[in-house]
Amino acid sequence: MADALTLYDYWRSSSAYRVRIALNLKGIEYHQVPVHLVRDGGQQNSPAYRKINPLGLVPALAHGERVVVQSLAICEYLEEAVEAIPLLPADPAGRARVRGMVQTICSEVQPLNNLSVMQYLKGEMSVSDELYALWYGHWIARGFSAVEAWLQGPASGGFCHGDAPGLADCFLVPQVYNAERFSCDLEPYPRIREITDRCRAMDPFAKAAPERQQDAE
């Protein structure tokens, strides 16, 4: 890509994690600018960052004068801008299948469990840690049960779709990371665990891992 890429991210953000994987899989060089979501009241709330992303979320990707926000939109942008190493299948049915899995994770699971929701539930709603753990586990189980069923189908090979990592894997692995952080039971999801382990053994995924980031704590 002719213009430099700058990724505004946070090491433990699963949304930013997705984009790091996609960038690595496609072999795209980028510069990272950490945005700490807790320190200083949340650096994403600063006026300077709100000029980059008015919603105050990470990730945001700056490409020259353009800024792209929301992890799925960023990944789709990268897919369309860089043809090498496609993350989506060539056929319409395959693309729809992958997008269905991706949307399940990024629309039906992660938004209900992200940091801002946790802060609101525990702060404004005075939800206890025990009740929050039940809340978190409920949405993980609901989403992962569906993804696991799809992964049992013939269209899945060694990865979510076929025998090469793609967009669905970029979204699955970070969500598994989150589920592990909150001690969710992953025993009922053997295909999810198998594919996640296979992905984590690959360099693009390993380099994107939260603990490998410059701002990791």
CATH 3.40.30.10 residue spans of the chain: 6-85
Q: What is the mean pLDDT of the chain?
A: 95
Got the DSSP string for the chain?
--S-EEEEE-TT-HHHHHHHHHHHHTT---EEEE--SSGGG-GGGSHHHHHH-TT--S-EEEETTEEEESHHHHHHHHHHH--SS-SS-SSHHHHHHHHHHHHIIIIIIHHHHSHHHHHHHHHTS---HHHHHHHHHHHHHHHHHHHHHHHTSTTBSSSSSBTS--HHHHHHHHHHHHHHHTT---TT-HHHHHHHHHHHTSHHHHHHSGGGSTT--
Q: How many CB atoms lie within 10 A of CB 144?
A: 24
- pLDDT, tens digit, 9 for 90 and up, residues 177-205: 999 999 999 999 999 999 999 999 999 99
Q: Give the model's pLDDT for residue 84.
A: 85
**Average pLDDT score over residue span 78-88:** 93
CATH no. of 6-85: 3.40.30.10
Give the integer Cα–Cα distance in Å for 172 and 101. Answer: 9
Amino acid at residue number 19 = V
CATH 1.20.1050.10 residue spans of the chain: 92-205
84 φ, ψ to 5°?
-60, 140
Q: What percent of the chain has pLDDT over 90?
A: 84
Amino acid at residue number 176 = V
CATH no. of 92-205: 1.20.1050.10
For residues 180 and 85, is the Cβ–Cβ distance under 8 A?
no
- pLDDT, tens digit, 9 for 90 and up, residues 33-52: 999 999 999 999 999 999 99
Peptide bond into 59 cis (omega under 30): yes
- pLDDT, tens digit, 9 for 90 and up, residues 90-147: 999 999 999 999 999 999 998 888 878 888 888 888 989 898 888 889 999 999 999 9
Q: Give the model's pLDDT for residue 100.
A: 97
pLDDT beyond 80 at 2: no
What is the Cα Rg of the chain in Å? 17
Band (78; pLDDT cuts 50, 70, 90): very high
For residues 217 and 174, is the Cβ–Cβ distance under 8 A?
no
